[in-house]
A and B are shown apart, each in its own frame.
Chain A
Amino acid sequence: GQNIDQPTEMTATEGAIVQINCTYQTSGFNGLFWYQQHAGEAPTFLSYNVLDGLEEKGRFSSFLSRSKGYSYLLLKELQMKDSASYLCAVREYNQGGKLIFGQGTELSVKP
């Protein structure tokens, strides 16, 4: 099975940079996803990493190290609307494409 860990809560200031970490243990790693979920809404896809390195998409970047079982989501130029829960999810080989999610990190952006 999988074990996915991420911090429960983080607080950051508008305009700043924040890094949300995720560590995982899995037997057949085949990709890591980050989703954003605003309160009362559906999770929405942010990023996908399957190879080591950094994927950049506007203000958001995601990094993966498969040897360390580690990923982070980097949010730059924080805005108040970035206050949300950020979910790390792992996919394994030959599991039908299912995603197993971590508990999520609740990010609060303060003025």
Chain B
Amino acid sequence: DARVTQTPRHKVTEMGQEVTMRCQPILGHNTVFWYRQTMMQGLELLAYFRNRAPLDDSGMPKDRFSAEMPDATLATLKIQPSEPRDSAVYFCASGFITGDTGELFFGEGSRLTVL
């Protein structure tokens, strides 16, 4: 049963610490998305990649967030330094997107709490 896998599922850290979240997209999917979900803002798009190349990361605070795809089976989202306002659930989603069609499949999310 193909699914998007995210680690860690839960992370509690202190302000100023580095946080790295990892995502394994579904094999064969060509597009990977990072979303953040909070009660106030809902699901916000942070960044996304097509065939491992970044398409858009304008949704990310550039000074502290970075997203990469070192290979086709791994996407990472890093926050350094973390702040309490970064507390949220971070979702990775993947899809086989061609001609702007294709649905997104979401991972279970990484729940981040920054104290």
Contact = CB atoms under 8 A, between A and B. Distances in A.
Interface residues of A, number: 24
B26 to A, nearest CB: 13
The B interface is mostly helix, strand or loop, or mixed, namely strand
Contacts of B4: 42
Nearest to A33: B103
The A interface is mostly helix, strand or loop, or mixed, namely loop
A111 B4 CA distance: 34
Contacts of A97: 31, 95, 97, 100-102
Given A97-B95, A98-B33, A103-B42, 16 more contacts: A31-B100, A31-B101, A33-B104, A41-B108, A42-B109, A44-B106, A45-B103, A45-B104, A87-B42, A96-B50, A97-B97, A97-B100, A98-B56, A99-B33, A100-B45, A102-B42
Interface of B: 4, 31, 33, 35, 42-43, 45, 48, 50, 55-56, 91, 95, 97, 100-109
